[in-house]
């Protein structure tokens, strides 16, 4: 008996898809933990630059070895570069946030992204949003306020940066809806690495030129450079695992697994920094997760008749 084939001739394999997605969700917060550790001595802008610079180098090396260097231009370079700039800006906001707050808290706040995406899609793409999803959005926002509660009082507006990250990532997803990817994964990752590297390098240059506090370039040591390279590798590998998972399993199966990031971030944050969310924060996290899962469920039900 043969399994149904995915688009592009890839076998549908739900168990493998779950394994790949779970591996990615457990791995990606390690990148944020490393970024938080490095932020004790390096500016977040420099750390973000390092992430995309090494991602770019990894993609370039793979393209050279496999003889695919001439294909890296892609069929939609402007869209690919815009994706990279949005990802670079989102990563900068998030790495700045984890300098001042726990990774688990920042990731939890970031997961208001499904709510933000629903609102943006309604405003910009004129998608219909019913009262149930509006209610879920309100519940998710209440959860975010509960999570933000101590951080807003302690560190001020910096605690809102995960929300800004969610907004930027929502625009990234909207672009994906408007312009579905027509290039392979290596080309997309190369374009994202290159465009974000150039954007962040320009920001570093201007920041140092005018003497902005917190933007000054600090020459990383050997171990710090190794950790920056590791961040780039985790970013490259994590993205690849997520794409591979969605090629082999449905979005409705895999979307709930993204919340494993909170588990991984909490575990590693506790082991490295002794950070652990308090009781009210877990209540807020539960509201955000429940809201996100319900919005995913409603979107799947609305798309099912169209697919049929």
Whether the per-residue pLDDT at 137 is higher than 90: the answer is no
Q: Are 236 and 63 in contact (CB under 8 A)?
A: no
When mean pLDDT is compared across 28-32, 33-37, 83-87, 253-257, the lowest value belongs to 253-257
Comparing 154 with 285, which gets the higher pLDDT? 285
Q: Global pTM?
A: 0.86
Give the lowest-confidence range in 4-13, 140-149, 294-303.
4-13
CA 187, CA 213: separation in Å to the nearest integer? 35
DSSP state of 156: G
In the structure, what pLDDT confidence band is assigned to residue 184 with cuts at 50, 70 and 90? confident
Sort residue 214 into left (φ over 0), alpha (ψ -120 to 50) or beta. left
**Sole residue written with tokens 């950070």:** 275
Domain-wise residue ranges, the chain: 16-307
Check residue 6 and give its pLDDT.
43
In angstroms, the CA 229 to CA 122 distance is 39
Strand partners, 11: 5
Placement of tokens 């219909």 in the chain: 128
């Amino acid at each position: 008996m043969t399994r149904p084939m995915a688009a592009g001739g890839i076998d549908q394999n739900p168990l493998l898809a779950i394994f790949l997605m779970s591996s990615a969700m457990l791995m990606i917060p390690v990148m944020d933990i490393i970024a938080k550790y490095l932020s004790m001595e390096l500016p977040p802008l420099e750390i973000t630059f390092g992430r995309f610079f090494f991602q770019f180098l990894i993609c370039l090396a793979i393209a050279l070895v496999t003889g695919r260097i001439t294909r890296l231009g892609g069929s939609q370079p402007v869209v690919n570069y815009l994706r990279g700039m949005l990802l670079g800006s989102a990563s900068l906001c998030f790495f700045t946030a984890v300098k001042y707050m726990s990774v688990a808290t920042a990731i939890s706040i970031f997961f208001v992204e499904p709510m933000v995406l629903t609102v943006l899609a309604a405003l910009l793409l004129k998608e219909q949003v019913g009262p149930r999803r509006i209610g879920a959005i309100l519940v998710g926002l209440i959860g975010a306020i509960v999570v933000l509660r101590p951080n807003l009082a302690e560190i001020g507006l910096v605690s809102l940066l995960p929300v800004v990250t969610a907004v930027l990532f929502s625009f990234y997803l909207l672009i994906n809806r408007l312009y579905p990817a027509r290039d392979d994964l290596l080309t997309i990752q190369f374009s994202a690495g290159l465009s974000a590297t150039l954007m962040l390098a320009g920001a570093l240059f201007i920041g140092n030129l005018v003497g902005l506090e917190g933007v000054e370039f600090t020459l990383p040591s050997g171990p710090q450079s190794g950790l920056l390279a590791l961040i780039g590798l985790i970013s490259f590998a994590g993205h690849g695992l997520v794409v591979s998972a969605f090629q082999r399993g449905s979005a409705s199966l895999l979307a709930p697994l993204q919340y494993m990031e909170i588990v991984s971030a909490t575990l590693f944050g506790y082991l490295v920094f002794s950070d652990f969310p308090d009781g009210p924060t877990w209540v807020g996290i539960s509201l955000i997760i429940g809201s996100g899962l319900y919005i995913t469920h409603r979107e799947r039900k609305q798309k099912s008749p169209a697919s049929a």
